[in-house]
Structure 1
Amino acid sequence: MTGNQTAEGPKHQKDLTRRKVVVAGAGAAVAVGTGGALAAGAFAGESGAKGAKGTSASASSTSSSGEVCYQLTSETTEGPYYIDADKIRRDITEDKEGIPLTLTLKVIDSETCKPIADAAVDVWHCDALGLYSGYESFSNGGGGGAPTDAPTDAPSGTPTGEPPSGGGGGGGHQEPTSDTRYLRGTWKTDKKGFVTFKTIFPGWYQGRCVHIHTKVHVDGEWTDAGYEGGNTCHTGQFFFDEESALAAAEVAPYATSTTERTTLDEDTIYDGSGVQGGLLKLKYKKNDIAKGVLATITMGVDPEATRTGQDS
């Protein structure tokens, strides 16, 4: 899909300069774009997502005129279970059971705050019981519990080659061991930088909190075969606040998991920086999360950078 992406640029330095982007209202991350209207107003209640130590998940408003500032979105490790854009689609659910999740993303240039159109956005995550498609023999789902000596977000057994970099979600890339591809997909951003995926609320597995992986590719070409060439300018993860994770854990099939869940504060990948670190803004009906969740976030990326997640 995106060609050979082994070249890497200088190690990423987070740009802490706050830049402004004018939006229709203070809730920039929930602006209705492609697919956003599908879920707008669909949920009576809203969960105010909070990060580690009470960090607010919503972007901070700088004035009543609706100006909102964004920082460069944090880079994270790719993890071992990435498959290079097998499925060009927006609905990645297939037949997996779980709480319906509408994931609406906006991609902007962190320097200019302008939306990035025609970018290829990948998302992938585990199912309700912690299994990744293509890697069921590696990922430790929660049906019978995980081995006590299993590594976090890494395959069991003796690794080959260099030791995995980073902890709790790092690990070198592993080749798929099955043909399944549920809960994976790639789609392009519209002219306003929006892209929407239909999926399910992820489950969890040993050593990691509830999360979704993502990549953003730019400067490639959309063809009948998919997306070709270009550059991976962002590799990150999206995170869910504790209130939503606890609520989901009470719903089948999540409630059948026997795997101990790592909390957001305990996770070794989430950096505690709220939206900048990938914390999603969530909307769902209070006391009835099973009806569905709307998750939104704006990603500020550097389109000229190469960020494959191998140097994070």
Structure 2
Amino acid sequence: MKRRTVVLQGAAMLASTIVPMPFARRGMAQPLAGRFQERPVSDLTSGGTAGVPDALSAPVFRPEPQCAVTLNKMLGPCHTNDVPIRDDVTEGVTGLPMRVSLRVVDANGCKPIENADVEIWHADVSGVYSGRAAAMCNPDDETVRNAGFLRGRQMTDSDGVANFLTVYPGWYGGRAPHIHLRVLVDDHELLISQLLFDDALNDIIYGQHADYADRQPRDTMNDRDFVFSRSDVKKITFDVETLDIGILQASCTIGLAART
């Protein structure tokens, strides 16, 4: 499979149908220019993960951790228990397909951590969570409360990597679009956090992609989200690229602080 096309950052692109990038990849040790080309939003896939091939090119990670924290955020009201280990977490829900790749390393020295238990969960296109959680997560929707979409766990491989196939998250009032993250090592909970997407990318996807464009504009930007300080935002923003098959690749290298 060919290497990724890239989506470049920049507010000027919001008036265009071209998806540029990588978002938040300013810390890369080696330039990625030349590996990528621009592509229109209309070329991005819609409808969910059905048809996405099993074999995808390997994700590219920053060499240094973007996030090195221990228990800095609460699980939140939309977390549920007994989340299954699985690659595709969608359970057939629609949206822009996206692979989320997380590389877990020791914050001191960046040595990969194998067999870390990585869990993610997030809202669907309409901003709703699945599962039996707080009423605010899926109000008055018993069908959704009995579902488990957009939740899953993976054990990291020898390179410290866990990959999830999902869809781009929707927004809901008062929060910037995000994916929740929890990491356990040897049954010790070492990290609870949330990862963001560049505001310019959110504007493009929510404004132009067929699965998201019918909703009202979101009401909260990254630097206005009450969960994070402005200094947090750069550290916890995904690097996002487009794969040549028209899905997104979101990547983050996470440094775990030593267990005390």
TM-score, normalization: structure 2?
0.71
2-side partners of 1:63 and 1:182: how far apart? 36
Post-superposition offset of 1:76: 2.2
Question: Could you say which structure has the higher helix fraction?
Answer: 2
CA RMSD of aligned residues (A): 3.3
Question: Is 1:296 the counterpart of 2:257 in the alignment?
Answer: no
Counterpart in 2 of 1:247? 204
Match of 1:126 among 119, 123, 129: 123
Contact 1:49 1:281 in 2 (8 A): no
Post-superposition offset of 1:214: 0.5
Counterpart in 1 of 2:222? 264
Go from structure 1 to structure 2 and tell me whether the alpha carbon gap of 1:261 and 1:252 turns closer, same or farther (over 3 Å shift).
Answer: farther
Go from structure 1 to structure 2 and tell me whether the alpha carbon gap of 1:256 and 1:194 turns closer, same or farther (over 3 Å shift).
Answer: same
Go from structure 1 to structure 2 and tell me whether the alpha carbon gap of 1:60 and 1:182 turns closer, same or farther (over 3 Å shift).
Answer: same
1-side partners of 2:87 and 2:166: how far apart? 9
- Structure 1: unaligned runs, 5 residues or longer: 1-37, 51-55, 142-154, 157-176, 220-229, 306-312
1-side partners of 2:9 and 2:109: how far apart? 28
2-side partners of 1:123 and 1:298: how far apart? 15
Counterpart in 2 of 1:73? 68
2-side partners of 1:181 and 1:62: how far apart? 38
TM-score, normalization: structure 1?
0.60
2-side partners of 1:49 and 1:280: how far apart? 15
Specify the SS of the correspondent of 1:254.
coil
Match of 1:113 among 104, 110, 114: 110
Contact 1:218 1:303 in 2 (8 A): no
Go from structure 1 to structure 2 and tell me whether the alpha carbon gap of 1:184 and 1:41 turns closer, same or farther (over 3 Å shift).
Answer: same
2-side partners of 1:90 and 1:60: how far apart? 28
Contact 1:105 1:297 in 2 (8 A): yes
1:47-86, aligned counterparts within 5 Å? 47-48=8-9, 57-58=24-25, 60=27, 68-70=63-65, 73-74=68-69, 75-86=72-83
Q: Give the number of equivalent residue pairs.
A: 214
Post-superposition offset of 1:185: 0.1
Q: Which has the larger radius of gyration?
A: 1
- Structure 2: unaligned runs, 5 residues or longer: 12-22, 32-61
Counterpart in 1 of 2:145? 178
Question: Is 1:283 the counterpart of 2:224 in the alignment?
Answer: no
The farther-off stretch of 246-255 and 182-191 is 246-255
For 1:241, the aligned partner's letter is D
Contact 1:128 1:202 in 2 (8 A): yes
Report runs of 4+ in structure 1 exceeding 6 Å deviation: none
Specify the SS of the correspondent of 2:119.
strand
Counterpart in 1 of 2:7? 46
Contact 1:72 1:276 in 2 (8 A): no
1-side partners of 2:210 and 2:63: how far apart? 38
Contact 1:92 1:185 in 2 (8 A): yes
Contact 1:206 1:262 in 2 (8 A): yes
Counterpart in 1 of 2:51? none
State, as a whole percentage, how many aligned pairs show the same letter. 30
Go from structure 1 to structure 2 and tell me whether the alpha carbon gap of 1:258 and 1:244 turns closer, same or farther (over 3 Å shift).
Answer: same
